[in-house]
Structure 1
Amino acid sequence: MKNDGIKKTLLDEYEREFISNIISSVKGISVRNAIYLSHTYNTIESFLNVNDIELKNIKSESNRRIIGDSKLCAINEAKKEIIETQNILKESNIRNFDIRHIWMLYLTKDFVEKQLSNLESKTLENLDINPHLSFLLNLNKDDIIKFFVIQTISRSIVTSWGTYVEKFLRYSGGETGKDLDNLFGLEAKKKMKGSNVDIFKNVNNILYCMQVKSGPNTMNVEMISGLNRAMKIIEATDPRNEMKDKNIKTIVSLLGMTYGKRERISGQIKNNLNQFENKTKIGRELWDFIGEEENYYLQVLNVMRLASEKFLKVNFMNRVDQKVKEISTEWDNKYQNKPFEDVIKDNFI
């Protein structure tokens, strides 16, 4: 699995991190031991081919067995999951897939499962109903349940997506390495405040430091001012003194937006972000820049669609509608024939 655009060393790192992530998800195996194992079996092929006896005989740095029988079963299940992921990609129309696509499929599956689990956990008891909006918008019982179920779930999805989309970008072509975390020093980080770097990207020995927004037009003037200040600090850093990679010539700061069109970005951002045109990557520009391929953004969308078809198996909004009906039944059982307005007044304020 190889791509000519992305450095092979980076793809190798993605494989090691993928194996480490899979192993550390097994209950009872520490992150430290997972990293240790991922350096012992540092490719997906070597990890899939290691047999049970060899795994059970592996010892930690403190000379203790890492994997017992129960953990071995979980690791074998993880192996099956990897094989399933590879087979899905092989059967798809995605050509020349590599570890980036495996990461994308894995992350999509994880994201979808978490959102479904979150939806399933919603009940009348943990639904926050705003009585003022209920009266203000003249909602009836069915309206109010649907409104607040959708509001609660959508808020959770959007928040969770912000974290996941950074992982999608990182494993599409972003840099890894602990030295990057300490690039700017403590004093500089204090001055940067909330405008830290989300994604690093090395292109032709220029290190691009990107803050990423999951969508367009999510920044107010104060946030933009902070980003301008952070960009200035970032670009004042001398990579020759701070970086282990002495080939880095210069550092460039960017703002990335994972979707949207350049022409639709608000005047507030365009007029207040210093050098807006040169300092931004928006929508497909960002994905293609990170992936180092033209139309890479389409590969991302195709893998996401593929994963949702294989793992979601239901229309998400249909499942939301089912949940609304379930909670409506809960309401009827709990409050029976009590007038709707009385229920709101007595129980939600």
Structure 2
Amino acid sequence: MLAYALKNEVGFTLNKARSLASYFADIKDFLEFQEENIKNLKSISGKSVLKLTDEEITNLSIYRESGSLSAELTVAENYLAIISRVFTQKQLNMVRNLSLKNLNPNPFLIRALNLDTPDAVVRLNVYMAATRSIVTSMGFFIEDLLLTSSDTVEKAPNKSGWDLVKTTSDGEKFWLQIKSGPNNMDKDQVVYWAEKIQEKVKEGDKAYIGFTYGKRTSKTVTIGLLKQILPDWEMQTLIGKELWNFLSEDSDYSSKLFEVLRKSAHQILHQNSLSEEIDSCANRVTDEFIQDFGDGHQGVSNYINSIF
């Protein structure tokens, strides 16, 4: 956990982060370090094995004092908070680094959608770029959250086709196919996973289709298909809270998870939301567009003529 934090939140290389993290017994030990004690870390024989620059030591001290890590939280809770902050920071950086060059607005889309002002052109393209990035990152983020929910949960073998496997202390295995929400499966997918579940049951294991959010009462096409096709569908699915609480073996885990997400987002965004950051980005890039190509309908025409 500490190595992950040092790499992703402080900026150390992976190898240096791992080496440095190994010198601390726990989070409390890290939070109490003295700068003079880590300038030149040595092995038992007295050989220098890790030397930190003044800048690295300063960055470590700033991170320690930031409140990002807490001795009051478990390792798992700290790790969950770090994962959340890293995700939010990545999205914030993406939005703040967007420029007109990054967007490269499509001239056909401009004309087909009647985007006849720089603001209209830029705002739509900023929203599309931000959405693509967030959606791409979201899958990995959710996977990390699921894997962090318990030490008994891990990625399923690649060739198995399953997403996760939970193994209890007595060796019982639970295989899970994860879907985002309760309307993300068509008939062919439901039929396929109904067969895969039966295969695992015959092998003596248990298997589920898990949905990261939603409720059984949701009136969606997927829920309807599950009822029709999947035998004992209520016993073979974990939906929303059921999934998170099952994996973590904590009946209140989902509530704790959302609180961690909220606090972590606040640490990165403070009083703003990412939506506000996207609006600010659109305003900034619109100014860039006008500076390069002019304002109004003519500015849009100038842009199109410059690339087509």
TM over 0.5: yes
* Matching of residue 145 in structure 1 with residue 99 in structure 2: no
1:57 aligns with 2:41: yes
Q: 2:81 aligns with which of 97, 105, 124?
A: 105
- Matching of residues 81-230 of structure 1 within 5 Å: 81=66, 83-86=67-70, 97-141=73-117, 142-175=119-152, 189-190=158-159, 192=160, 195-198=161-164, 200-202=166-168, 205-224=171-190, 227-228=193-194
2:214 to 260, 268, 285: 260
CA distance in 1, matches of 2:140, 2:235: 25
Looking at structure 1, the residues matched to 103 and 183 of structure 2 have their Cα atoms a distance apart, in angstroms, of 29
**CA 1:341 to 1:326, structure 2 compared with 1: closer, same or farther past 3 Å?**
closer
SS of residue in 1 equivalent to 2:174: strand
- The CA deviation at 1:294 is 1.9
Matching residue within 259, 271, 280 for 1:322: 280
Task: Provide the C-alpha distance between the structure 2 equivalents of 1:198 and 1:137, rounded to a whole number of angstroms.
Answer: 42
**Residue equivalent to 2:259:** 302
The verdict on how the C-alpha distance between 1:213 and 1:150 changes in structure 2, with shifts beyond 3 A counting, is same
Which of 246, 262, 283 is the equivalent residue of 1:289? Answer: 246
Q: 1:19 is matched with which residue?
A: 2
Aligned pairs for 1:222-261 within 5 A: 222-224=188-190, 227-228=193-194, 231=197, 251-261=205-215
Q: State how far apart, in whole Å, the 1-side matches of 2:147 and 2:122 are.
A: 38
Change (3 A) 1:170 1:158: same
1:321 alignment partner AA: D
Q: Does structure 2 retain, via aligned residues, the 8 Å contact 1:29–1:66?
A: no
- What displacement does 1:303 show? 1.6
Query: Out of 287, 298, 304, which is 1:339 matched to?
Result: 298
Amino acid at match of 2:76: R
Change (3 A) 1:57 1:334: closer
Q: What's 2:28 paired with?
A: 45
Report the CA distance between 1:119 and its aligned residue: 0.2
What runs of 5+ residues in structure 2 fail to find an aligned partner? none
Alpha-carbon displacement from aligned partner over 1:82-111 (angstroms, at most 9, x marks no partner)? x44328xx6xxxxxx533322222222111
Cα separation, partners in 2 of 1:332 and 1:52, compared to 1, 3 Å: closer
Structure 1 residue 286: Cα displacement: 1.1
The change in CA–CA distance for 1:252 and 1:136 in structure 2 (over 3 A counts) is: same
Identify if the C-alpha distance between structure 1 residues 158 and 203 changes in structure 2 by more than 3 Å, giving closer, same or farther: farther
Q: How many residues align?
A: 298
Change (3 A) 1:230 1:197: farther
Give how far 1:312 is off: 0.7
1:256 match: secondary structure: strand
Q: What's the CA shift for 1:22?
A: 2.6
2:100 is paired with a residue whose SS is coil
CA distance in 2, matches of 1:233, 1:348: 56
Deviations 1:218-266 (A, max 9, x none): 33455545545654665566xxxxxxxxxxxx53222222112223242
The structural deviation recorded for 1:196 is 3.5
Given residue 217 of structure 1, which amino acid in structure 2 is its aligned partner?
N
- Contact 2:165–2:173, Cα closer than 8 Å, also in 1: no
Separation in structure 2 between the aligned mates of residue 287 and residue 322 of structure 1, nearest angstrom:
35
| TM-score, length-scaled by structure 2 | 0.78
In structure 2, relative to structure 1, the CA distance for the partners of 1:232 and 1:348 (3 Å cut) is farther
What is the CA-CA distance between 1:123 and the residue it aligns to? 0.9
Partner residue, 1:93: none
Unaligned runs of 5+ in 1: 1-17, 91-96, 238-249
